[in-house]
A and B are shown apart, each in its own frame.
Chain A
Amino acid sequence: QVQVQESGPGLVKPSETLALTCTVSGGSVNSGDYYWSWIRQSPGKGLEWIGYVSYDGTSNRNPSLKDRLSVSLDTPNNQFSLKLSSVTAADTAIYYCARYHRVQGWFDPWGQGILATVSS
């Protein structure tokens, strides 16, 4: 079965770029049925969809983050990545990667999440 796992630094300085990677196992990112997605959850708060990248490299992003966000696909390594620039304390959150079914609209599976803290 498909599994996804986030990796990356847990601490980022204000104004710098947060870079996270999600590794997919048990399946291929080269599938037209799914979008490879990022969701975040601020401490004690709800869930916010960040964006996705498709098998062909096309992406879509939350308009609230659009100018700062880049999502990309690394097909040979079966990974996808997130880069969020000019981070502030408001970007401190648990970042999840997940597979999104493009027709049925659900996220599954999810990674365990990685806490990214923005602090000097």
Chain B
Amino acid sequence: EVVMTQSPVTLSVSPGERATLSCRASQSIGSHLVWYQQKPGQAPRLLIHGASTRASGIPARFSGSGSGTEFTLTISSLQSEDFAVYYCQQYDHWPPLTFGGGTKVEIK
């Protein structure tokens, strides 16, 4: 099973600042990585697939990068609606499909 490790667990950022979230895979997964955003009481929302391709309707301030075992989600200028938990998910070696433990982006 591919273990996905996200860091930090909590990220405190001021509105308008840049947020950088990390996701590490226990083995190489190429670019087979997806990012989701989850707000309290809601289902996850698809943000990025293929490590760097924004899903339909996702603002350009969200960008993804990386390949192999190291991946990054960057939010260039945090808006109030961006404070949430972010999960990564790999789809290279499965079953099982696996998710990271999440990074909570909170207001500083």
Contact = CB atoms under 8 A, between A and B. Distances in A.
B49 A106 contact: yes
Interface stretch (A21-29, A43-51, A71-79, A83-91): A43-51
A110 B45 CA distance: 8
Given A106-B49, A110-B44, A49 B32 contact: no
Interface stretch (B12-20, B64-72, B89-97): B89-97
A100 B44 CA distance: 13
A64 B50 CA distance: 26
* A interface secondary structure, majority: strand
Given A49-B96, A60-B95, A107 B101 contact: no
Contacts of B46: 106-108
B34 interface: yes
A63 B93 CA distance: 13
Contact of B44 (A47, A60, A63, A101): A47
Nearest to B43: A110
A63 B100 contact: no
Contacts of B1: 63
Interface in B57-108: 87, 89, 91, 94-102
B50 A104 contact: yes
